[in-house]
Amino acid sequence: MKKQKTVTFNFYPSEPIAYRQTVTFEINGLTQQSVDIKGKGAEFKVASTLNDVLMTESSIAVRFLTV
In the chain, the amino acid numbered 35 is V
The pLDDT assigned to 63 comes to 52
- State pLDDT tens for residues 27-56: 889 999 999 999 888 887 777 666 555 555
pLDDT in tens, 1-18: 777 888 888 888 888 899
Cα angle vertex 43, ends 40, 45, to 5°?
145
